């Protein structure tokens, strides 16, 4: 047997923290899975709401979309879908864009885009809901 010390690639601090090479743990992985599961019933509900809206005039559609239950379902749908979209695109950008400056630019654009979509959607839903 050899008495030579065992060489570790990771630093002692990295071994204690238990994080991988990305230094970020599994937070994004679990958030993406959580939003994927949440998207199943929320998407079904959103599709049902859209089917109910088919053939309605603007006033009837505004009345349906303005009801509190429908507004809450649609707000949850928008929040879950945009969060899932942001995380999914972030993973794709991190995996396939190798230039650091392009990666940073795309990650920022991804975040800004998803926030803009979520805020615009939420504004429309809340405006219908409160009748302002």
Sorted by where each begins, the domain ranges of the chain are 26-130
The DSSP result for the chain, as a single string, is: ---PPPP-SS-HHHHHHT--TTSSTTHHHHHHHHHHHHHHHHHHHHHHHHHHHTT--HHHHHHHHTSHHHHHHHHHHHHHHHHHHHHHHHHHHHHH---HHHHHHHHHHHHHHHHHHHHHHHHHHHHHHHT-
- How much of the chain exceeds pLDDT 90, in percent? 73
Distance CA(83)–CA(114), nearest Å, equals 8
Domain 26-130 fold is 3 helical TM bundles of succinate and fumarate reductases (1.20.1300)
Question: What is the structure's pLDDT at 59?
Answer: 92
pTM: 0.78
Mean pLDDT, residues 2-16:
68
Mean pLDDT, residues 46-75:
94
- In this model, does residue 131 exceed pLDDT 90? no
How confident is the prediction for the chain on average, in pLDDT? 89
Cβ atoms 36, 91 nearer than 8 A: no
- In this model, does residue 91 exceed pLDDT 90? yes
**CB-based contacts of 130, cutoff 8 Å, min separation 6:** 66
């Amino acid at each position: 047997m050899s008495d030579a010390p065992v060489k570790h690639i990771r630093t002692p601090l990295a071994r204690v923290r238990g994080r991988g090479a990305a230094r970020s743990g599994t937070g994004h992985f679990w958030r993406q899975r959580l939003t994927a599961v949440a998207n199943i019933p929320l998407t079904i509900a959103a599709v049902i709401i859209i089917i109910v809206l088919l053939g309605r005039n603007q006033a009837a559609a505004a009345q349906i979309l303005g009801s509190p239950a429908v507004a809450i379902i649609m707000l949850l749908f928008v929040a879950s879908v945009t969060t899932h979209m942001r995380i999914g695109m972030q993973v794709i950008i991190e995996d396939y864009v190798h230039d650091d400056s392009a990666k940073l630019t795309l990650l920022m654009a991804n975040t800004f885009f998803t926030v803009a979509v979520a805020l615009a959607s939420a504004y429309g839903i809340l405006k219908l809901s409160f009748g302002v």
